[in-house]
């Protein structure tokens, strides 16, 4: 975390100083990005000219990140008002900003790099509303004050620029405080070449938000990179051994295959073409092969794979332990470790979403859409897992009348909005009661068929 004394003046000199510090983190971020993209260190391994050198990438890094992201935000994050708070306008703005897609991108970058950044800005249409942009930590960072609260002081976003010939010419830089936002151009040596005029920040807070993956700001697969490398080497060498077995050397004893090099070469070609070799009575031929214990190699492979999933906390969903007929409770026990890690990710992701909501609600107040306390907004995460709807229906039926309908409906995966569903249920109950009263009233005064009009 970058920190600064809040009393210090924020100018271009300070911005450049922190950009220089930030550039020192880029090599580690680049390595993490490479591993997610499948560009592992095994691809740069070299061997002798005549030795087999297969370089196989088993991309556990991508599997770990994609599984973790899908589990956390595969189902869109939900919002509902607390204490009767009306968040309809807020939800409309979030929908316009495509917050669901942004959440997916933010979660993926946080899983890869350990942190990520989001910029909240105003659209430039006739009726401006807040919009969202996601930047990975190679392009953006936030600097906090040096108090125990670590409140944001300013945020920086910068990216490389190239001239018409495709040659790197420097960086375009933007930075934001709680009052102003500025633009500047930097030379390749990170000195200011030009600077724009300050503009007012309409949000009243630093609009650049950092999302952390965990307290250490580590990616989900960062601690198991050495295991991933070992797995890649093992699988590559297994294929190398198979290839060398096929390309084994033929040892011929007591036989000359030609009087000169030309005849020998012709014999070798025929041997390769027909697979047939004629020898004298006292001669023999055998293959020189290297023996290897396939069972031991397979045990090592399974051990490495188990360690990768164990220490990353992300289980292998194709494992035989994850059977299709397991109950919901049994599945939760199998995912207990994964759930604990996801809970940590959820807490830090929630902090970033709270900062986003503060900016959105502040802008709602500025545009006269009413004052909404962001603390009265519940942020709901729903795990993206196959669900046993029969079990859930039994739970809802058992707890009906004991637990509020809105809470019960929220656990059903096919109910997108529990609040709307609860209101619809209440309307249906009222309509059913009204129709019952109308039916009773229409038949209550009808005399029996055997009673005459005079008797009545």
Residues contacting 158, CB < 8 A, separation 6+: 19, 139, 140, 171, 172, 173, 174, 186
Question: How far is it, in rounded angstroms, from Cα 157 to Cα 133?
Answer: 11
Rounded alpha-carbon distances, angstroms, from residue 362 to 176, 205, 247: 17, 9, 71
In the chain, what percentage of residues exceed pLDDT 90? 52
Structural contact between residues 202 and 129, judged by C-beta atoms closer than 8 angstroms = no
Structural contact between residues 122 and 128, judged by C-beta atoms closer than 8 angstroms = yes
Structural contact between residues 172 and 191, judged by C-beta atoms closer than 8 angstroms = no
More confident site: 164 or 390: 164
Asked if residue 446 has pLDDT above 60, the reply is: no
pLDDT at 63: 96
What's the pLDDT tens digit per position in 16-32? 999 999 999 999 999 99
Rounded alpha-carbon distances, angstroms, from residue 450 to 111, 445, 456: 81, 15, 10
pLDDT at 453: 57
Query: Same structural domain for residues 254 and 217?
Result: no
Residues contacting 31, CB < 8 A, separation 6+: 225
Q: If you average pLDDT over residues 389-417, what whole number do you get?
A: 76
Query: Same structural domain for residues 68 and 184?
Result: yes
What's the pLDDT tens digit per position in 89-140? 999 999 999 999 999 999 999 999 999 999 999 998 888 999 999 999 999 9
- Which ranges of 289-413 would DSSP assign to H, the alpha helix? 294-312, 328-334, 336-366, 389-399, 405-410
pLDDT at 448: 57
pLDDT at 388: 64
Query: Same structural domain for residues 210 and 275?
Result: no
Rounded alpha-carbon distances, angstroms, from residue 107 to 30, 75, 156, 350, 428: 18, 12, 20, 11, 39
Confidence category of residue 241, pLDDT binned at 50, 70, 90: confident
Query: Same structural domain for residues 14 and 136?
Result: yes
Query: Same structural domain for residues 255 and 173?
Result: no
pLDDT at 275: 66
pLDDT at 443: 62
Rounded alpha-carbon distances, angstroms, from residue 377 to 79, 257, 358, 367, 371: 7, 87, 10, 19, 13
Query: Same structural domain for residues 254 and 184?
Result: no
Query: Same structural domain for residues 198 and 270?
Result: no
Q: For the chain, what is the mean pLDDT? A: 86
Specify if 357 maps to a domain.
no
Q: Which 3 state secondary structure label does DSSP give 435? A: helix
Confidence category of residue 382, pLDDT binned at 50, 70, 90: confident
Specify if 232 maps to a domain.
no
Query: Which residue reads 């999933």 in tokens?
Result: 309
CA 85 to chain centre: 31
pLDDT at 175: 95
Tally of structural domains, the chain: 3
3-state helix, strand, coil in the chain (%, to 5): 45, 20, 35
Q: If you average pLDDT over residues 228-239, what whole number do you get?
A: 93
Cα within 13 Å of Cα(328), Cβ side: 14
List residues bridging with 439 in a β-sheet.
none
What's the pLDDT tens digit per position in 358-376? 999 999 998 888 888 888 8
What's the pLDDT tens digit per position in 289-333? 666 677 888 899 999 999 999 999 998 887 766 655 555 566 777
pLDDT at 16: 94
Query: Which residue reads 């009413």 in tokens?
Result: 370
pTM: 0.80
Q: Which helix (H) or strand (E) holds 113?
A: helix 99-113
More confident site: 61 or 324: 61
Specify if 230 maps to a domain.
no
Specify if 236 maps to a domain.
no
What's the pLDDT tens digit per position in 155-169? 999 999 999 899 999
Query: Same structural domain for residues 283 and 420?
Result: no
pLDDT at 72: 94
Specify if 166 maps to a domain.
yes
Question: How far is it, in rounded angstroms, from Cα 144 to Cα 153?
Answer: 5
More confident site: 445 or 271: 271
- Which ranges of 38-87 would DSSP assign to H, the alpha helix? 60-73
Asked if residue 402 has pLDDT above 70, the reply is: yes
pLDDT at 38: 95
Query: Which residue reads 């390749």 in tokens?
Result: 188
Structural contact between residues 212 and 115, judged by C-beta atoms closer than 8 angstroms = yes
pLDDT at 329: 62
Least confident of 113-117, 168-172, 273-277, 444-448: 444-448
Query: Same structural domain for residues 105 and 68?
Result: yes
pLDDT at 160: 93
Query: Same structural domain for residues 136 and 260?
Result: no
Specify if 324 maps to a domain.
no
Asked if residue 205 has pLDDT above 90, the reply is: yes
Specify if 421 maps to a domain.
yes
List residues bridging with 79 in a β-sheet.
379
Q: Of the residues 233, 263, 288, which one is the last residue of a structural domain?
A: 288
Q: Of the residues 265, 288, 311, which one is the last residue of a structural domain?
A: 288
pLDDT at 157: 95
Q: If you average pLDDT over residues 423-443, what whole number do you get?
A: 80
Least confident of 146-150, 195-199, 317-321: 317-321
List residues bridging with 210 in a β-sheet.
117
Specify if 352 maps to a domain.
no
Question: How far is it, in rounded angstroms, from Cα 344 to Cα 352?
Answer: 13
Query: Same structural domain for residues 147 and 258?
Result: no
Residue 418 belongs to domain spanning: 388-444
Q: β-strand 180-186 against 199-200: which pairing, if any? A: antiparallel
Residues contacting 402, CB < 8 A, separation 6+: none
In the chain, what percentage of residues exceed pLDDT 70? 88
Least confident of 201-205, 304-308, 395-399: 395-399
Query: Same structural domain for residues 131 and 272?
Result: no
pLDDT at 371: 85
């Amino acid at each position: 975390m970058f920190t600064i004394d809040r009393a210090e003046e924020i100018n271009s000199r300070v911005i450049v100083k922190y950009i220089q510090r930030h550039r020192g983190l880029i090599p580690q971020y680049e390595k993490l990005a490479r591993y997610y993209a499948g560009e592992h260190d095994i691809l740069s391994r070299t061997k002798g000219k005549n030795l087999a050198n297969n370089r196989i990438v088993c991309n556990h890094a991508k599997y770990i990140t994609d599984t973790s992201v899908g589990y956390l935000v595969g189902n869109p994050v939900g919002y509902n008002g607390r204490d009767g708070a009306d968040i309809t306008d807020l939800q409309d703005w979030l929908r316009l900003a495509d917050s669901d897609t942004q959440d997916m991108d933010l979660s993926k970058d946080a899983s890869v790099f350990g942190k990520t950044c989001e910029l909240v800005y105003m659209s430039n249409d006739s009726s401006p509303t807040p919009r969202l942009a996601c930047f990975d930590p190679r392009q953006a960072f936030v600097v906090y004050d040096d108090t125990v609260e670590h409140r944001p002081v300013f945020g920086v976003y910068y990216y490389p620029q190239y001239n018409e010939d495709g040659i790197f010419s420097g960086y375009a830089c933007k930075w934001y405080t709680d009052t102003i936002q500025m633009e500047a151009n930097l030379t390749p040596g990170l000195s200011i070449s030009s600077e724009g005029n300050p503009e007012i920040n309409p949000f009243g807070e630093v609009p650049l938000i950092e999302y952390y993956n965990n307290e250490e700001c580590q990616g989900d697969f960062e601690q198991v990179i050495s295991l991933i490398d070992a797995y890649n080497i093992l699988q590559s060498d297994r294929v190398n051994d198979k290839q060398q077995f096929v390309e084994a050397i033929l040892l011929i004893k007591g036989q000359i295959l030609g009087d000169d090099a030309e005849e020998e070469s012709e014999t070798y070609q025929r041997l390769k073409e027909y697979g047939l070799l004629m020898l004298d009575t006292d001669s023999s031929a055998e293959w020189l092969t290297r023996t290897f214990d396939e069972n031991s190699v397979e045990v090592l492979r399974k051990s490495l794979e188990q360690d990768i999933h164990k220490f990353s906390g992300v289980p292998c969903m194709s494992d035989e332990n994850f059977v299709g007929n397991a109950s919901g409770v049994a599945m939760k026990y199998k995912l207990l470790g994964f759930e604990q890690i996801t809970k940590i990710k959820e807490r830090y992701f929630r902090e970033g979403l709270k900062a986003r909501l503060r900016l959105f609600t502040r802008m709602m107040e500025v545009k006269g859409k009413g004052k909404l306390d962001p603390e009265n907004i519940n942020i709901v995460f729903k795990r993206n897992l196959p669900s046993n709807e029969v079990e859930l229906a039994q739970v809802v039926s058992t707890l009906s009348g004991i637990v509020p309908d809105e809470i019960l409906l929220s656990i059903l995966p096919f109910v997108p909005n529990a609040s709307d569903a609860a209101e619809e249920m209440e309307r249906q109950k009222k309509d059913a009661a009204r129709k019952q009263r109308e039916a009773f009233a229409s038949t209550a005064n009808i005399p029996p068929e055997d009673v005459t009009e005079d008797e009545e």
